[in-house]
Structure 1
Amino acid sequence: MDHGNRPKHRSTLRLVEPELTLVRRGDGPDPRMVELVRLLARRAARQVYEEQMKERRPPRS
């Protein structure tokens, strides 16, 4: 194949993607992690609450 006549588009077609950084910047906890922990805690609390409500229901006769 002759690639000499083909324009070089590879560098122009690259999309600028955000870089994933796991390095903390600044003091304190990462706000994304805090939000994730809150979400998981709410989910766990909801599941425990629902299980407790199932146990408290009197059996229907």
Structure 2
Amino acid sequence: MPHRITEECLACGVCADECPNGAISEGDNIYVIDPELCTDCGTCREACPNEAIVAE
């Protein structure tokens, strides 16, 4: 998976709103990235206010 969401996720949903591929969805207390849809564009990482998204 090109990117992953860490435990620092506040579940604010900003990353999901910004993802152009719809690869991010709400999981259990944090958001998750679908590796089949993620194209490694980095938009989610740039949008995250808590820097909870990292490149793999």
TM-score (norm 2): 0.20
Structure index of larger Rg: 1
Q: More strand by proportion, 1 or 2?
A: 2
Instruction: For CA contacts below 8 A with separation 6 or more, give which structure has more relative contact order.
Output: 2
TM-score (norm 1): 0.19
Q: More helix by proportion, 1 or 2?
A: 1
